[in-house]
């Protein structure tokens, strides 16, 4: 599959160049294109029997203008994202790319997001071109191809880079299409919970009434409940024994102020985080368009920047509504991280527990623990590194039943405690501990040092071990999810009526689909999950079970 590079024209400012490159990185024809003609040129090549893999510096800058022009591409190679993976991966550690000193491709942030409905400027205009040297795209592609070819397991890295790049395409497409959002429903919901939207600057009646009630019960009529220091002082001067204003401390109080204060905190948060101001800022023309940041988390999970799309509180999900005649196909992977752990460790017993749709139930049925709650806490403890409480109590049983799975995360934790790097299934590696932490990790292992210092250092070492323990599972789960979504995107192209992805949340996807093909979409979602399992793990006995719902409102799912 040939590459076509899309780069800025080094001579003509504002123009671009399409540059054909063979699979081996050998340069071919170079075609200059005026910026306005780029979408047509791209679309023409996409119509070929074998569309190219587009290579560009940054999908978040190159792809939105194409989408605005109605052009979609099948595949790409995002040099910025792939560079970050290859720089860090232990699989490509010996490559020239990894060994080079930091260069212009290191530490590149995603292109700055556009405000929703902002005036369009030319996004082909590279801001860096005006001060720094333009990025050498062909040179970087060849370094990356060489790093993959010379890697220990090139197949894993190839899959990871393809999945990461497709994720970048999907992120841009989801922002372009937007999540269907019913502002009338949202407004009704806010009004019901908070009171009428105030016309001026004030706050809705119900929130103000609760604040007044709390102030009255504390006997402090001018207390500012939104100031944590003030609230803490206010509670203490009313004779309440709290050390913070956290919900769980307030809930434990036996005082009439507890109920209204908890309600106030809940509603005040809803108002500030997802109230009318949020709606005005982020929802336009019936669509919520957050800025997704693929690869924004060290483990490979996505982040968001603005809009808070990954933290949509359950209470406002009723505002996510399909268009008339359309449906939302909402699917989430059931107990994804335990299943991923079973697959990557080759733990057949744990895979067997996951044969049914509820893996935790499977652990109970296998007689390992007595209740589903115990099974869940034990699994979370294994993956997150719990050391105390109910989780730690049932860990020994889990370790006996699933030695390979538990052994894998334990090994990752020990490696982290020694300051070593760990990697996901496809080869995304954990960050190296910084110098200060590295020193601590060494101090923890030192003999004859001051006992207190060693104790502190060991505790910090265990903290890092919990991070690396979780990294391998969370990061591999993120890889599975990317492959799932990429497979789904490809299958959706074959369905009539243009069903399209509108939301992704770590282990959950949402497709906006014409009602008459929603069942077909649901089948595609399931087939894609199975495909993702095969892509990563080959012939694994692990089932990647899904919960799939076809609904009109997000609130109906789950």
Region of 137 (left: φ > 0; alpha: ψ -120 to 50; beta: rest) is: alpha
| Dihedral, CA of residue 479, residue 480, residue 485 and residue 489, to nearest 10 | 100
Least spacing, CB of residue 537 vs DNA, in Å:
20
- Coil, helix or strand at residue 487: helix
- Token pair, residue 282, equals 């982020």
What is residue 335's DSSP assignment?
T
Q: What is the full DSSP assignment across 256-294?
A: TTHHHHHHHHHHHHHHHHHSHHHHHHHEETTEE---EET
Tokens representing 206? Answer: 């119900």
Cα dihedral 256, 258, 261, 266 sign: negative
318 is a contact residue toward DNA (CB under 7 A)? no
Q: To the nearest 10°, the Cα dihedral for 462, 464, 467, 473?
A: -80
User: With binding defined as CB under 7 A, does residue 385 bind DNA?
Assistant: yes
Among 98, 146, 298, 530, binds DNA (CB under 7 A): 298
Q: Does 476 interact with DNA (rule: CB under 7 A)?
A: no
Closest CB 55 distance from DNA, rounded Å: 26
DSSP type of residue 474: H
Residue placing its CB nearer to DNA in the complex, 348 or 380: 380
Q: Check residue 457 for interaction with DNA (CB under 7 A).
A: no
| C-beta atoms surrounding 352 within 10 Å | 18
Q: Is 61 in the site for DNA (CB under 7 A)?
A: no
CB of 35 to DNA, least distance (A): 30
CB within 8 A of 108, min separation 6: which ones?
58, 80, 83
Q: Could you tell me which of 103, 86, 104, 99 has the C-alpha nearest to residue 145?
A: 86
Q: What are phi and psi of 168, to 5 degrees?
A: -65, -40
Site string for DNA, 250-269 (x = CB under 7 A): ---------------xx--x
SS3 of the chain: helix, strand, coil, percent, to 5: 55, 10, 35
One residue of 384, 404, 530, 547 binding DNA per CB under 7 A: 384
Site stretch for DNA (CB under 7 A), options 8-16, 75-83, 122-130, 311-319 = 311-319
115 counts as binding DNA under rule CB under 7 A: no
The helix (run of H) or strand (run of E) holding residue 510 is: strand 508-514
* Smallest separation, CB 45 to DNA (Å): 34
Which residues within the stretch 477-516 sit at the binding site for DNA (CB under 7 A)? 505-508
Q: What is the C-alpha separation between 16 and 62, in angstroms, rounded?
A: 11
Report the residue number, 246 or 432, with the smaller CB distance to DNA: 246
Return phi, psi of residue 238, to 5°: -85, 5
For 483, other C-beta atoms within 10 Å of its C-beta total 25
Nearer CB in complex with DNA: 429/474: 474
Strand, helix or coil for residue 471: helix
Helix, strand, or coil (residue 329): strand
Which tokens in the block code for residue 16? Answer: 């671009």
> Which residue matches tokens 């996510």?
320
Q: How far is the CB of 299 from DNA (least distance, A)?
A: 6
Does 228 participate in binding DNA (rule CB under 7 A)?
A: yes
CB of 534 to DNA, least distance (A): 22
Using a 10 angstrom Cβ sphere, with 0-12 exposed, 13-18 middle and 19 or more buried, the burial of residue 329 is: buried
Taking CB under 7 A as the criterion, the residue among 80, 156, 215, 301 binding DNA is 301
Nearer to DNA, 137 or 320 (CB): 320
Residues 391-420 that bind DNA (CB under 7 A): 391-392
Q: Could you tell me if 338 and 544 are in contact, meaning their C-beta atoms sit under 8 angstroms apart? A: no
Which one, 5 or 223, has the nearer CB to DNA? 223
371 contacts DNA (rule: CB under 7 A): no
Shortest distance (Å) from residue 468 CB to DNA: 9
Residues in 145-184 at the binding interface with DNA, rule: CB under 7 A: none
Shortest distance, position 248 Cβ to DNA, whole Å = 7
Q: Which two tokens stand for residue 339?
A: 């299943």
Q: Rule CB under 7 A: say whether 548 interacts with DNA.
A: no
Min dist CB 326 to DNA, Å, is 22
Residues in the chain: 558
Out of 150, 154, 198, 308, name the contact with DNA by CB under 7 A: 308
Among 97, 211, 341, 386, binds DNA (CB under 7 A): 386
Q: How many helices (H) and strands (E) does the chain have?
A: 21, 14
Contact pick of 152, 226, 285, 516 for DNA (by CB under 7 A): 226
List binders of DNA among 327-366 (CB under 7 A): 332
116 binds DNA (CB under 7 A): no
Indicate the residue among 404 and 460 with the shorter CB distance to DNA: 460
- Pick from 112, 122, 244, 442 the residue near DNA by CB under 7 A: 244
Task: Select from 165, 299, 424, 553 the one that contacts DNA (CB under 7 A).
Answer: 299
* 314 contributes a contact to DNA by CB under 7 A: yes
Tell me the closest approach of the beta carbon of residue 387 to DNA, in angstroms.
Answer: 6
List contacts with DNA (CB under 7 A).
224, 226-230, 232, 244-248, 265-266, 269, 272-273, 278, 293, 296-299, 301, 303-308, 310-315, 332, 377, 380-381, 384-392, 463, 466-467, 470-471, 474, 505-508
């Amino acid at each position: 599959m040939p590459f076509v590079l899309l780069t800025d024209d080094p001579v003509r400012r504002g123009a671009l160049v399409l540059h054909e490159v063979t699979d081996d990185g050998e340069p071919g024809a170079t075609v200059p294109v005026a910026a306005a003609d780029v979408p047509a040129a791209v679309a023409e090549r996409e119509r070929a029997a074998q569309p190219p893999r587009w290579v560009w510096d940054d999908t978040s800058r190159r792809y939105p203008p194409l989408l605005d022009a109605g052009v979609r591409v099948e595949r790409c190679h995002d040099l910025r994202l792939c560079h970050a993976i290859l720089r860090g991966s232990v699989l490509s550690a010996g490559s020239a790319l990894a060994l080079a000193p930091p260069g212009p491709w290191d530490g590149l942030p995603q292109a700055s997001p556009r405000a929703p409905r902002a005036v369009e400027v030319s996004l082909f205009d590279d801001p860096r071109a005006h001060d720094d040297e333009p990025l050498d795209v062909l040179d970087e592609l060849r370094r990356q191809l060489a790093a993959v070819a010379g890697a220990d397991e090139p197949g894993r890295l190839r899959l990871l880079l393809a999945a990461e790049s497709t994720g970048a395409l999907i992120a841009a497409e989801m922002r372009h299409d937007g999540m269907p959002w019913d502002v009338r429903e949202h407004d009704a919901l806010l009004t019901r919970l908070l009171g009428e939207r105030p016309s001026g600057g004030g706050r809705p009646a119900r929130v103000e009434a609760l604040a007044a009630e709390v102030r009255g019960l504390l006997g402090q009529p001018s207390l500012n409940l939104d100031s944590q220091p003030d609230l803490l002082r206010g509670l203490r001067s009313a004779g309440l024994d709290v050390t913070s204003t956290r919900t769980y401390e307030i809930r434990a109080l036996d005082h009439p102020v507890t109920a209204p204060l908890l309600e106030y905190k809940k509603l005040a948060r809803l108002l500030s985080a997802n109230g009318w101001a949020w709606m005005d800022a982020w929802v336009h023309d019936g669509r919520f368009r957050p800025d997704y940041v693929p690869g924004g988390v060290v483990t490979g999970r996505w982040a968001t920047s603005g809009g808070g799309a990954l933290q949509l509180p359950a209470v406002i999900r009723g505002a996510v509504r399909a268009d008339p005649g359309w449906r939302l196909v909402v699917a989430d992977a059931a107990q994804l991280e335990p299943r991923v752990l079973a697959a990557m460790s080759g733990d057949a017993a744990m895979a067997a527990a996951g044969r049914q749709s509820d893996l935790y139930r499977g652990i109970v049925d296998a007689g390992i623990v007595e209740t589903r709650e115990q099974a869940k806490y034990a699994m979370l403890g294994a993956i997150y590194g719990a050391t105390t409480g109910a989780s730690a109590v049932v860990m020994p049983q889990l370790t006996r039943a699933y030695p390979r799975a538990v052994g894998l995360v334990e090994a990752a934790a020990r490696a982290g405690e020694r300051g070593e790097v760990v990697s996901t299934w496809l080869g995304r590696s954990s960050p190296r501990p910084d110098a200060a932490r590295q020193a601590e990790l060494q101090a923890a292992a030192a003999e004859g040092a001051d006992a207190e210092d060693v104790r502190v250092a060991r505790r910090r070492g265990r903290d890092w071990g919990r991070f690396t323990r979780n990294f391998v599972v969370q990061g591999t789960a993120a890889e599975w999810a990317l492959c799932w979504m990429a497979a789904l995107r490809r299958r959706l192209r074959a369905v009539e009526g243009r069903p399209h992805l509108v939301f992704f949340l770590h282990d959950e996807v949402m497709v906006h689909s014409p009602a008459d093909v929603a069942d077909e979409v649901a089948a595609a979602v399931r087939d894609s999950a199975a495909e993702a399992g095969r892509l990563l793990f080959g012939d694994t006995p692990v089932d990647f079970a899904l919960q799939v719902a076809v609904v009109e409102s997000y609130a109906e799912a789950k």
